[in-house]
Amino acid sequence: MMWLPADFVHPLRADLPTGEHLRLMGAADTEIDFPAVMGSRERLWSVYGPTWGWPPATMTVEQDRDDLAHHEREIAAHESFLYGLFPRDEAELLGCVYVDPPAKQGGADAEVSWWVVDRLVGSPTEAALDTFVPAWLSRDWPLRAPRHVGRDLSWAEWLALPDLP
């Protein structure tokens, strides 16, 4: 499925004004992804669980590695994109940004969501990410109408939209 122009070169990295950065993720990031996801699992489940069934309460490190490898293959095929939010030293994962093709009707040309680990909810880092992502999509992506799921509309509202054929 082509949802981005064939000549589009996706960003490899994006620097937030607060010093953190986004970069693409893959299976090699499992050791920092797993504690971030499972450490924020209950909140993430309340957001993504009804839609994606993620993250399951019993997720293992190997299941997380498989999930990240799947994302890595999708990135390579330009099917969807997973960016991790990292501090300068990349010693930990602070959150994630998902850029996906539209799955629901309503005129969006992408569906984008993001999260931060529990300890950063309500923090300047989360506020910076909330401001940065829409501006970054507008500036560096060939998108006219990205839908910010969980921001522009709730996940429940998104789920209620008709699926694209």
| CATH code, 111 | 3.40.630.30
Residue 2 has pLDDT above 90, yes or no: no
Could you give the percent of the chain with pLDDT greater than 70?
Answer: 99
Which domain does 24 fall in, by range?
Answer: 13-159
Q: What pLDDT, in 10s, does the model give residues 54-80?
A: 999 999 999 999 999 999 999 999 999
Residues 98-116 have pLDDT tens digits of: 999 999 999 999 999 999 9
Res 51: pLDDT: 87
How much is the pTM?
0.96
**5 occurs within a structural domain:** no
- Can you read off the two tokens belonging to residue 159? 């789920």
The predicted-structure confidence for 43-55, as pLDDT tens digits, reads as follows 999 999 988 999 9
Structural domains in the chain (count): 1
Q: Flag whether 119 is in a domain.
A: yes
* 91 domain-assigned: yes
Domain contains 20:
yes
Mean pLDDT of 10-38: 97
**Residue 152, in any domain of the structure:** yes
pLDDT range class, residue 1, cuts 50, 70, 90: low
What sections of the chain are H helices per DSSP? Answer: 30-39, 41-52, 61-76, 124-140, 155-160
Maximum Cα interatomic distance, the chain, rounded to a whole number of Å? 43
Residue 6 belongs to a domain: no
